[in-house]
Chain A
Amino acid sequence: MSERTQSEAFAAPRRELAADTFGMWIFLASEAMLFGALLLVFLAARIAYPQAFAAASGHLSLPLGTANTVVLITSSFTMALAHVFADAGRWRGATAGLAATGALGLVFLAVKGYEYRSEYLEGLAPVLGAPFRYEGPAPANAELFFNLYFTMTALHAAHLLGGIAVVGFVLARWRRTAAAGRLRRVTATGLYWHFVDVVWIFLFPVLYLIDR
């Protein structure tokens, strides 16, 4: 393996960076189809049961959801800053940005976990054997709403967890990574992180803001 490029196939790091970026974008397009399919399932159900979904949406915590959106947007901001610093070769700023991004990701997951816990205690979560308790119109359709909510937010959280792991990996290997490799890793991790942010930007209004 040559020192300057990761892959045998490339002669120059610049070209490899462009290939990495393109590969990442294709992966994100693929991921968008995954989340798109779930959103389609949700949309089909929401079209079928507008009242039940609106009423059920009101049971989600708007303050926590909004706060978490702020957290995630901020994490994207720190990630973008890390990229700006990495571009300029200001490595301390870049590592600080990455660390802040990972920490904010953990905060998001903690808040999400707290939300899950209160919804579970309310009896809204599809846990094995636990009965579904819900006061409101069309409880069966509301149950479908909550199940879709848990499915989509859990899949999003799993992606975020993956992102945090990658950020941790990049930081752990930072000292042993050459400058070209650092820039490539920050670029690719950033693209993924921002994509996970964009998914939440759609999930938040679609799930929390149906009828307030």
Chain B
Amino acid sequence: MSADTYPPQSYFAAGYGPRAWFLTTDHKRVAWLYLVALTAFFFIGGAMAVVMRLELATPQGDVLTADVYNRMFSIHGIIMVWFFLVPSIPATLGNFLLPLMLGAKDLAFPRLNLASWYVFAFGSLFTLFAVIAGGVDTGWTFYTPLSSLYSDSYVSAAAFGVFIVGFSTIMTGINFIVSVHKLRAPGLTWFRLPIFVWTMYATALVMVLATPVLAASLILIVLERVFGIGVFNPELGGDPLLFQHLFWFYSHPAVYIMILPGMGVVSEILPCFARRPLFGYRAVALSSMAIAVFGFLVWGHHMFVSGQSAYAGVVFSFLSFLVAIPSAIKVFNWTLTLRKGHITFDTPMLYALGFLGLFTFGGLAGLFVASLAVDVHLHDTYFVVAHFHYIMVGGMVTAYMGGLHFWWPKMTGRMYSELWGRIAAVTTFIGFNLTFFPQYVLGYLGMPRRYHAYPAEFAFWHVLSSTGAVVLAIGYVMPFFYLGWSLLRGSAAPANPWRASGLEWQTASPPPQHNFARTPTVTEGPYAYPEPEDER
């Protein structure tokens, strides 16, 4: 990128050297720091998935030993959950867009924002060290007593890295909550906020209140391994099951950290490319908060077969169905937004429509595993693997890609190749379904997760899944190239290439250093697209 390619007022023009990036407090540049780090982790974690699918292409264990396979899926999970999915949309698009959408010059605590990136970098590199040193074989869930008493892999180092990264999550959460409360532009009332802001707020709430409990459970694991404190060791009267309570008190709400931002992105894209206001705006906004709160009441559904009491199982099963209500409210409202719309299938819209289908499919499968009796059959099988990959990858990663394409012109001031964009979006959708739909079948047939070898009768579905993984990988690698190309050779983007509503589109692409020439005053609600009745 040469200095003369950007107009002098753009935020890129503030400096091109390493100091201008690594010591910046500009939220837009911090977003880029995160984007680079997260892209690296996405491809590291993805490469491990490819190796695992390669192993599973044949029934015999021929590529990896069982032990290496254990380490492979553990690190895949740890990297994808904590070093990609949890920070994915909030730290990149959220950091970039939240102040723009609020009409603010920056986040409330710009230096804290930069600090969060350094904390993230330190913690994640620490965990990478654990991987290079020999890896972890406990699964991303660190279940005791395997993790505390028996595993001789690098559990402490990996857990410590995740613990550190938790601080960066909390810093981001605090910054977002305070910014939404304190930095809204004049006239920007709560019910004029875009849904993306609502979902960032709900996500931040979960980050701030759930992450410390994960921190506590990881501290206890490390202390157990180093000092033998016995909290999870029955010999001293400790209880391994207690770990699962603490872990899932965080990790189930963390699922909503990982999906709410995707819902926010899709709520911006669908109205824009259907040329319609978001249907049921208030219901969609409030259901985000409902998901954040209900998400804390259901963690016991991960423990149906862990030896918790049957009464607890029944109650947690019932509570789990509650989460389906606000999720369904969203899906129905998104669908009605499309009704009578003038729909165009630009790249972001293809990803958003993909999200809509995949999230619904994954969410409905969630009702299966939330049912106590059915889950006894499906627990720890590929059905569960398919279910959460439909939400996490089919939902969140698809929304992330959609958002990246939607706001790419704003972030970079460059247009990407629309043709390649559409090819990648369709490839991803096909590859994803080919990879993960067979896993529902496998799980239903009884194939357990976390095995590197399997009986020959499962081979057909595994081969389908592995083939899909190759297609999916191609779909994810393509944007890396054409988006990168657009940075160098893309045509200049206008301020509002999609004719979208929203404050971020009212400033230049790329935005000036302090976002707006003068602080905007808001006089209307979001999604100011024509109503269906207006056009009869």
Contact = CB atoms under 8 A, between A and B. Distances in A.
* Contact-size category for B: 35 or more
B99 interface: yes
A148 B110 contact: no
A127 B237 CA distance: 19
A33 B173 CA distance: 15
Contact of A8 (B174, B230, B514): B514
B121 to A, nearest CB: 21
Classify the interface of chain A: helix, strand, loop or mixed: helix
Nearest to B232: A41
B222 to A, nearest CB: 11
A172 interface: no
A128 interface: yes
B105 A41 contact: no
Contacts of B104: 9
A115 interface: no
A9 B177 contact: no
Contacts of B108: 7, 9-10, 19, 23
B74 interface: no
Contacts of A138: 237
A22 B178 contact: yes
B429 to A, nearest CB: 38
Interface string A32-50: 0110111011001100110
A98 B230 CA distance: 39
B242 A27 contact: no
A29 B237 contact: no
B97 to A, nearest CB: 15
Contacts of B179: 9
A45 B179 CA distance: 40
Contacts of B181: 19, 22
Interface string B98-113: 0100001111111100
Interface string A122-138: 00001110000000001
A48 B239 CA distance: 10
A15 B178 CA distance: 11
Contact of B208 (A8, A9, A30, A127): A30
Nearest to B226: A128
Given A148-B229, A155-B219, A44 B242 contact: yes
Interface stretch (A63-71, A73-81, A139-147, A203-211): A139-147
A17 B301 CA distance: 43
A151 B220 contact: yes
B213 A37 contact: yes
Contacts of A151: 219-220, 223, 229, 231
B236 interface: yes
Contacts of B512: none
B235 interface: yes
B56 to A, nearest CB: 37
Contacts of B242: 41, 44
Interface string B110-124: 110000000000000
A41 B209 contact: no
Interface in B115-146: none
Nearest to B99: A9
A143 B228 CA distance: 10
Interface of A: 6-10, 15, 18-19, 22-23, 26-27, 29-31, 33-34, 36-38, 40-41, 44-45, 48-49, 52, 126-128, 138, 140-141, 143-144, 147-148, 150-151, 155
23 contacts: A7-B111, A8-B110, A8-B514, A9-B183, A10-B182, A18-B182, A19-B182, A22-B182, A30-B170, A30-B174, A33-B216, A34-B212, A41-B216, A48-B239, A128-B227, A141-B237, A144-B231, A144-B236, A147-B223, A147-B230, A147-B231, A151-B219, A151-B223
The 5 closest A-B pairs by CB, nearest first: A37-B216, A34-B212, A147-B229, A33-B212, A126-B227
